[in-house]
C-alpha cells in the first residue's frame, strides 16, 4: 500500500526526469500540431509508468476534471477537441516528449533516453505499478478511488 506522501515523492521525481530531458542538448521541436495525439490516425498510443500517470492525473485534476473520457475519434482524452491543444501539456507523459512525433524531430533514440526510462521504471516498481500501461488506462487507474493513495 502506498500513501499520498509516496505519491508526492514519485511526482517530484518524475517531474525532475522530465526537466532533465529538457536540459539535454537534443534537438526537439514540439510545435503543438498534435498529430501524434490522434492515436487512431497515427496507429500509436503512448504507454506510461505509474509515476507518469500520477503526474498526468494531477495536471488533469488541476484543470478541474474528475474523469477521463475516451473521445469517439480515438484521440487522446487530454487533447482539446476544438483547439487541438494538449490540456495537460506540462504534465504530459515521457513518451509524448520523446517519441511518436515526426514534426517534433522523430522518436528519440534508445541511447538518448535509456537512463531516464530506467528511472521511470524504478519509480513504477516502487509504487507497485505494472510496468508501462496504455495512457488512458494508466491515468484512469490512478484517478479511480482504488488508485488514490494506494497501489
Ligand atoms: S497527453 Fe497531451 S501530448 Fe500526450 S498524446 Fe495526449 S494530448 Fe497529446
Q: Which residues face 79 on adjacent strands?
A: 86
pLDDT (mean) for 145-150: 60
**What is the rounded average pLDDT of the residues 28-57?**
83
Are 10 and 149 in contact, with CB atoms under 8 Å apart? no
> DSSP secondary structure string, 29-63?
------GGG-HHHHT---EE-HHHHHHHHHHHHHT
pTM over 0.85, yes/no? yes
Pocket of ligand 1 (CB under 6 A): 34, 37, 46, 76, 78-79, 86, 88, 92, 96
Atom 4 (ligand 1): residue with closest C-alpha? 96
Centre of ligand 1 from the C-alpha of residue 78, in Å? 6
Distance CA 82, CA 123 (A): 35
Q: What is the pLDDT of residues 107-123, one digit of tens each?
A: 667 778 899 999 999 99
Q: Where are the domains of the chain?
A: 4-143
Q: Could you read off the pLDDT of 120-134 as tens digits, one per residue?
A: 999 999 999 989 999
Amino acid at each position: 500500500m502506498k500513501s499520498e506522501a509516496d505519491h508526492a515523492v514519485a511526482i517530484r521525481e518524475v517531474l525532475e526526469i522530465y526537466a532533465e530531458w529538457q536540459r539535454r542538448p537534443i534537438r526537439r521541436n514540439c510545435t503543438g500540431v498534435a498529430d501524434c495525439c490522434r492515436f487512431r490516425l497515427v496507429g500509436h498510443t503512448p504507454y506510461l509508468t505509474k509515476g507518469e500517470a500520477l503526474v498526468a492525473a494531477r495536471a488533469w485534476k488541476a484543470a478541474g476534471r474528475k474523469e477521463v473520457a475516451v473521445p469517439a475519434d480515438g484521440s487522446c482524452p487530454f487533447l482539446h477537441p476544438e483547439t487541438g491543444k494538449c490540456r495537460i501539456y506540462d504534465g504530459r507523459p515521457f513518451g509524448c516528449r520523446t517519441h511518436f512525433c515526426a514534426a517534433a524531430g522523430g522518436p528519440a533514440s534508445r541511447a538518448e533516453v535509456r537512463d531516464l526510462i530506467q528511472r521511470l521504471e524504478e519509480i513504477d516498481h516502487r509504487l507497485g505499478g505494472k510496468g508501462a500501461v496504455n495512457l488512458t488506462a494508466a491515468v484512469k487507474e490512478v484517478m479511480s478511488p482504488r488508485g488514490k493513495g494506494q497501489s
